[in-house]
Amino acid sequence: MGIVAGLDSSPDFTRIVVCDADTGAVLRQGYAPHPVESPESGGRPSDVDPQAWLLSLGEAAGGGLLEGVQAIGVSAQQNAVVPLDAQGNTVRPALVGGDKRTQVAAADLVDALGGREAWAQAVGCVPQAAQPVTKLRWLARTEPENARRTAVLLQAHDWLVWQLLGRPVRRTTDRGGASGTGYWSAATGAYRPDLVELALGHQAMLPEVIGPADAAGTTPEGLLISVGTGETMAAAFGLGIGLGDAVVSLGASGSVMAVHPEALVDGSGMITALADATGMHLPVVTTLNAVRTLRGTAELLGLPDLESLSDLAMKSTPGSHGLVLLPYLEGERTPSLPHVAGTLAGLRRESMKAEHLARAAFEGMLCGLADALDVLRARGVEVRRVFLLGPAAELPAVQAAAPMLFGTQVVVPQPADYAAIGAARQAAWALGASQGTLDVRTPPAWQGAVAQVLEPGEELAVGQAVRQQFVAVREQTHPGAMRL
């Protein structure tokens, strides 16, 4: 079919990959950081002039990178809101990221609709500080004049696609991006304009949600632009995950997501019901404490980095000589314990060694993520293998403990620009569908990620004993917190 490109506009940079449309082989790559600070933002990291994304895109695409490309897919940071006026101009800088200014607005919205379960039933998620719907509430309360001028709402990938197409009258988005807004339901496949009004104070135009293989349009030069999607969905698509697969992301906080054929409505708010980039669903469970647990333990032990912590942990044995760390250092979201602190249990004279505490930190972090996996499993989500993402996934202590604690095969993909690759795969799908060479229901079969595969093997029973030890301490310390 030729060649296609995928661009991923992350919070800090733009990456572009140019791929063979048939195989997915990466032929060329481009990269550019976003401008450090936009003049309009006043230096606030939660306010970004969207023009910065375009400048970065142009720089990343320099040197003829896109020569010969027939279609482009766009992935971009999620939760960014670009408010436009009736003429299509930005009302104010985009609101991006996990904006702490909006925490009160999130609680406000939960109460305004009648509680967490009402939101879960309405759109499959409970408002969090980062979500677009919450940022609209903050805008209405804090900048009422800007809220009043807001006539159109776009997310980052919607805005970039619209710009690439020359700002046409028609504005589009995809299911994946829409499912994270807090005003579109993955279960019904429809917007909830009443929730926009509840948050913003009035109605606003929303982009048309089109299918995963649909094109958003074609540039005057004949370059096809696919619908685009959020970074999470693009990365899942780039990895090639399907039914039976879960992805565990190890950042400061952690997340567990899996492919599922239907939307999950969870009144507790532990599951966020997102849609993926293929027409399936992507339920997500988040933990507040992942790699921050490891960093805190390394600091406590006077170690310079996580590699040193991992080396030390490998001198201990599974179960950490009875030490159990409940890693709720920032409170916790799964289970819902927002105001608690971490707990270290099982202290005996023989367990009071640095290597056992190091091992307990890794086991506590992974058991917390295993709890999140169990939330999905309890709702009927099949998990046959787990993809482990993030730099910490490369640590020997993580790789030694994860298969036995998760109780399943663990796949550690080679580092790559999976969101950009997913965007390129979407472009190839839209190109093939437009030419009649690909079915709109079946994405192109690209080669999978190069990965290391780890099996629990004979350690499975040991891992389950460690999990039971963790669960016993959690239940004793926080009875009934994990209601599955």
Whether the predicted pLDDT of 98 surpasses 80 = no
Q: Which amino acid is at 458?
A: E
301-311: pLDDT as tens digits = 999 999 999 99
95, 140 Cβ separation under 8 angstroms: no
Among 166, 111, 113, 105, smallest CA distance to 131 is for 105
91, 150 Cβ separation under 8 angstroms: yes
Residue 45: per-residue pLDDT: 66
345-384: pLDDT as tens digits = 999 999 999 999 999 999 999 999 999 999 999 999 999 9
Whether the predicted pLDDT of 99 surpasses 80 = no
Question: Rounded distance, CA 30 to CA 28, Å?
Answer: 7
Q: What is the dihedral of CA 474, 477, 479, 482, to 10 degrees?
A: -30
Prediction pTM value: 0.93
* 3-state secondary structure at position 232: helix
Burial of 195 (0-12, 13-18, 19+ CB in 10 A): buried
34, 12 Cβ separation under 8 angstroms: yes
DSSP string, 273-328: EEE-SSSSEEEEEEES-SHHHHHHHHHHTT-SSHHHHHHHHTTS-TTGGG-EEE--
Task: Please give the C-alpha separations between residue 177 and each of 159, 246, 348, in angstroms, as whole numbers.
Answer: 12, 19, 50
Residue 97: per-residue pLDDT: 78
Mean pLDDT score, 335-351: 95
Residue 110: per-residue pLDDT: 95
Burial of 367 (0-12, 13-18, 19+ CB in 10 A): buried
Among 16, 55, 58, smallest CA distance to 35 is for 55
Q: Which amino acid is at 112?
A: A
292, 330 Cβ separation under 8 angstroms: yes
Whether the predicted pLDDT of 41 surpasses 80 = no
Among 421, 425, 72, smallest CA distance to 216 is for 72
Q: Which amino acid is at 106?
A: A
Q: Which residues contact 104 (CB under 8 A, 6 or more apart)?
A: none
Mean pLDDT score, 320-326: 98
133, 179 Cβ separation under 8 angstroms: no
Residue 37: per-residue pLDDT: 61
Quickly count: other Cβ atoms within 10 Å of residue 103's Cβ.
Answer: 15
Question: Rounded distance, CA 217 to CA 2, Å?
Answer: 19
Question: Rounded distance, CA 416 to CA 420, Å?
Answer: 9
